Amino acid sequence: MIPTLDDLSVDGTTIGVRVDVNSPLADDGSLADDARILAHVDTLSELLSRGGRVAILAHQGRPGGSSFSGLSPHADRLDELLDFPVSYCDGNFSKEARDAIGALENGEAVLLENTRFYSEEYMEFDPEVAGQTALVDRLVPVLDAYVNDAFAAAHRSQPSLVGFPTRLPAYAGRVMEREIDVLGDIESAPTPRVYAVGGAKVNDSIDVAESVLERGLADTVLTTGVVGNVFLIAKGVELGKASSEFILDEGYWDEVDRAGRLLDAYGDKIILPRDVAVERNGERAEIPIADLPAAPDEPALDIGSRTVDLYGDIMANAGTVILNGPAGVFEMEQFAVGTKGLYNAATKAKNSIVGGGDTAAALRRLGIEGFTHVSTGGGAALKMLTGESLPAIEVLRT
Ligand code: 3PG
C-alpha cells in the first residue's frame, strides 16, 4: 500500500515535498512553460490549507546542460499561483536553508535551491544509502514528514527521491497518486487496448511496443512518426533516401531489425501507415505507400490523411487508447496534421491516456484537450508503461 495525503495529519507540521518542476527555459533564464509547476498546485495548496509548513525540493536541468539553473523563477511562479506565500532560499540543506524551514508559519512554503546543485543528488543510490547523504541527513531533523509528488522523476533513485522515506513517514502527493492509479493499473484498463507509438525517440517507443505486445496488454499497436517509418522499412517498403538516411544518421538502424522481429511475432496486431506526408519544396505532399519511394530529397515528416482516418476508426472502437509520442514533426504547421488528427480522434475514445514528455508538449502547442489522463512524466511514464518498477514509488510502499 502507498500512503497518500489522506493518511497524513498536516496541521502545524513541517513537510518536505519533492516536486518535479523541471521546465523548459527561455534564453534569458525565465520559464518558457509552467505546465509542470501548475501540476503541483493541488498538492501544495492542500498541504498549506490544511495548516502545513512546506519545504519544497526540486531539480532543474542536468549538471552541464543548458537548462541547469537555480529555482528562483519557479518560486516566483508558485507564489503567484498559490493563495499562500512561497519564498525562495538559495541553499538546499545549508544552515540558511534549515533556518528558513524552521521559520515557516502554518500555511507558508519555501522553495529550496535546485537539489542537483549538490553533486550527490545527481548520483543513483540504494534508498538506505541515499538516506545517509548530507542532503537527507541535514534536512530530516527539521521535517516531520515527506511527500513525494515528483512522478516525472520517480525513475531516478537520487537522494531527494528515495532517501527521505527511509528516515521519515512518507506519502504520495496527489500527482503521484493519480499517475500510479492510472499508469500502474494498465492491466485493468478497458479493452480493446490500442497503443499509438510515435515520436523521434524510436528506441523508447519500440521498447513500449515490444513490452505491451509481449505482456499481452495491447490488442493493437498503431505506428506513427519516425517509429512508423522504421516499421515500414522493416516491412520492406522503400521510403526514399532522405527518410532512410535520417534513421541511419540518428543511429536507429538496429531498430529496423527489432521492428522486423516484432512484425514476425505480432504482425496481426501491428498496423503500419497507409500513406506518408513528405516535404516537397517546403510544402506537404501526401504519398500512398504503394507509390513510394519518395524523391531522394523528400523526407517523410508526418503520417498522411488516409492513415489518420484508418487509425481514427480503430481508436473509435477501443476501450482504451494509450498515446506515446507525436505522429510527425508537429512543430512545422504543415506536418502537424497527423498529430492533430490522431490526438483529436483519441480524445473521442472512452478512455484516453497520454504519456511521454514530447507528447504533453505537443498537446499544449496544438491546444488539444479532453484526454482522460495526461501524464506529467516523460521517461517515468514510459518506464511505467513497460511494466518496470520505479524506485521512488517502490520506496513509498508500506
Ligand atoms: C524529466 O524531465 O523527465 C524529469 O524531470 C527527470 O529529469 P532527468 O531525466 O534529468 O532525470
Q: What is the pLDDT of residue 35?
A: 87
Cell of 130: 541515499
- Of 136, 152, 179, at which residue does a domain stop? 179
Q: In what order do the strands lie in the sheet with 283-288?
A: 283-288, 275-280, 300-303
Instruction: From the CA of 59, give the closest atom in ligand 1.
Output: 5
Instruction: Residue 336: give its domain's CATH number.
Output: 3.40.50.1260
pTM of the model: 0.86
Residues 54 and 154 reside in one and the same domain: yes
pLDDT band at 386 (very low <50, low <70, confident <90, very high): confident
Please give the distance, rounded to the nearest whole angstrom, from the Cα atom of residue 153 to the centre of ligand 1.
Answer: 6
Q: What is the pLDDT of residue 129?
A: 98
Q: What is the pLDDT of residue 33?
A: 84
Structural domain includes residue 398: no
Instruction: From the CA of 156, give the closest atom in ligand 1.
Output: 11
- Of 159, 179, 199, at which residue does a domain stop? 179
Q: What is the pLDDT of residue 239?
A: 97
Please give the distance, rounded to the nearest whole angstrom, from the Cα atom of residue 263 to the centre of ligand 1.
Answer: 32
Residues 371 and 280 reside in one and the same domain: yes
Instruction: From the CA of 379, give the closest atom in ligand 1.
Output: 3
User: Which residues, other chains included, contact 2 with Cβ-Cβ below 8 Å and sequence gap of 6+?
Assistant: 172, 177, 180, 393, 396, 397, 398
Residues 378 and 253 reside in one and the same domain: yes
Residues 234 and 96 reside in one and the same domain: no
Please give the distance, rounded to the nearest whole angstrom, from the Cα atom of residue 93 to the centre of ligand 1.
Answer: 21
Instruction: From the CA of 152, give the closest atom in ligand 1.
Output: 4
**87-101, 135-149, 188-202: which range is least confident on average?**
188-202
Cell of 378: 516523460
Cell of 359: 507528447
275-280/283-288 β-pairing = antiparallel
- Of 162, 179, 196, at which residue does a domain stop? 179
What's the mean pLDDT in 283-311? Answer: 98
Q: What is the pLDDT of residues 367-376, one digit of tens each?
A: 999 999 999 9
Q: Residue 231 is part of which domain span?
A: 184-385
% pLDDT > 90, the chain: 89
Whether the pLDDT of residue 357 is over 70: the answer is no
Helix 253-266 × helix 225-234 angle, to 10°:
70
Residues 156 and 251 reside in one and the same domain: no
Which residue, judged by its Cα, is nearest atom 2 of ligand 1? 22
Residues 201 and 313 reside in one and the same domain: yes
Residues 342 and 193 reside in one and the same domain: yes
Structural domain includes residue 347: yes
pLDDT band at 204 (very low <50, low <70, confident <90, very high): confident
User: Which residues, other chains included, contact 85 with Cβ-Cβ below 8 Å and sequence gap of 6+?
Assistant: 79, 108, 109
DSSP H helices, 68-224, are: 72-81, 95-102, 127-130, 134-139, 174-183, 202-214
Structural domain includes residue 121: yes
Structural domain includes residue 105: yes
Structural domain includes residue 394: no
Average pLDDT, the chain: 95
Q: What is the pLDDT of residue 385?
A: 84
Number of structural domains the chain divides into: 2
Structural domain includes residue 391: no
Q: What is the pLDDT of residues 43-70, one digit of tens each?
A: 999 999 999 999 999 999 999 998 999 9
Whether the pLDDT of residue 325 is over 70: the answer is yes
Q: By the 8 A CB rule, do 70 and 111 touch?
A: no
Q: What is the pLDDT of residue 364?
A: 82
Q: By the 8 A CB rule, do 227 and 353 touch?
A: no
CA–CA dist 46, 53 (Å, integer):
11
Residues 280 and 359 reside in one and the same domain: yes
Q: Is the CB of 204 under 6 A from ligand 1?
A: no
